[in-house]
Amino acid sequence: MDWDWLIVGGGLHGGFIADALLRANPAIAMTIVDPAEPLAAWCRRADACGMVYLRSSNAHHLGARANSLRRFAARQGFDATHELGYYRRPSRLLFESHARATLRSPPRRLAAFARHIQPHEGGWCLTTAAGDSLTARHVVLATGPGQPYRPPGLAAAEHVFDLGFALGPPGRRTAIVGGGITGAQLALQAIDNGHSICWVTRTPPRSADFDSEPRYAGRLGMAPFLAAPISTRTQLLRDARRPGTLPPDILARITAALSSGRLTWQCANVADFHEGQLRYRDGRLLHVERVILATGFEPIPDRQSLIGRCIEGLGLATDTDGHVVINDRLEAAPGLHITGRPASLELGPMAGNVKGARMAGQRLAALAG
Q: Go through the domains of the chain in sequence order and give each one's CATH number.
A: 3-147+298-368 (3.50.50.60), 158-208+247-293 (3.50.50.60)
Q: How far apart are the first and last CA of the chain?
A: 19
Distance CA 236, CA 262 (A): 39
Average pLDDT rounded to a whole number, residues 141-159: 95
User: What pTM was computed for the model?
Assistant: 0.94
Pairing of strands 290-293, 173-177: parallel
The residues that bridge with 265 in the sheet, in sequence order, are 199
Residues 40-63 have pLDDT tens digits of 999 999 999 999 999 999 999 999
Contact assessment for residue 4 and residue 27, using Cβ atoms and an 8 Å cutoff: no
Residue 225 has pLDDT above 90, yes or no: yes
| Per-residue pLDDT tens digits for 278-296 | 999 999 999 999 999 999 9
Helix axes 40-49, 181-192, angle to 10 degrees: 60
pLDDT band of 106, cuts 50, 70, 90: low
Q: Which residues 6+ apart lie within 8 Å of 364 measured at CB?
A: 17, 20, 21, 140, 329, 330, 337
Average pLDDT of the residues in 289-308: 95
| Average of per-residue pLDDT values in the chain | 95
